[in-house]
Amino acid sequence: MFSKACKYAIRSLIYLASRSEEPEKTGLREIAAEIDSPVAFTAKIMQILSRQNLVQSAKGPHGGFFIDPQSPEIRLIEVVKAIDGTQSIYGCGLGLKSCSEEEPCPIHHEFSAIRNGLDRLLNEQTIQQLAKEMMEGKSVLKHQLN
């Protein structure tokens, strides 16, 4: 449902949020390694997130990316809107230009329930909540090789 860029953006923000109490900023290569993303692709994603004020960046020898711990929590919907827009969430499940209760596509009614659940998740869940769960060992961003 989400683009690869959106998935990497969410993962990178969760990683940065998990480090928000650390005094050091996080470098691009470290972020890319932690989310299993190519460095160049991660750079483009981080640039978008920075332009949308979802992350802050600092240049120089001690530079990198960070989420200000004093900033408001970042809802998942904000990340999805910044990277993918909202068409994939709120548009027709089959991609029709017009789909409604009055003129539904063949999967409209079943897809509506899925879309409503996804909408609730994206609007209620925050990056910081997901990072906290990860730090508590309830989830992972990447699997360790055995």
In tens, the pLDDT along 75-120 reads 999 999 999 998 878 888 898 988 888 999 999 999 989 999 999 9
For 29, 60, 78, 134, the CA distances from 139, given in Å and listed in that order, are 22, 33, 21, 5
CATH of the domain at 123: 1.10.10.10
Does residue 140 belong to any structural domain of this protein?
no
List of residues 6+ apart from 29 with CB closer than 8 A? 39
Does residue 145 surpass a pLDDT of 70?
A: no
Q: Is the pLDDT of residue 146 over 60?
A: no
Is residue 99 a part of any domain in this protein?
A: yes
Closest CA to 79 of 125, 37, 27: 125
Residue 65 maps to a domain: yes
In this structure, is residue 75 part of a structural domain? yes
C-alpha of 105 from chain center: 29
Confidence at residue 143, expressed as pLDDT on a 0 to 100 scale: 73
Residue 143 lies in a domain: no
Mean pLDDT of 64-72: 89
- pTM: predicted TM-score of the whole model, two decimal places: 0.90
44 pLDDT higher than 90 = yes
Backbone angles phi, psi at 43, to 5 degrees: -60, -45
pLDDT at 21: 82
Q: How many domains does the chain have?
A: 1
Residue 86: its pLDDT value, please? 85
Eight-class DSSP state of 25? P
Q: In which domain, by residue range, is 53 found?
A: 4-135
Backbone angles phi, psi at 33, to 5 degrees: -65, -40
The answer, yes or no, to whether residue 70 has pLDDT greater than 60, is yes
- Flag whether 141 is in a domain: no
Position 32 in a domain: yes
In 3-state terms the chain splits into helix, strand, coil percentages (rounded to 5) of 50, 5, 45
Q: Is 146 within a domain?
A: no
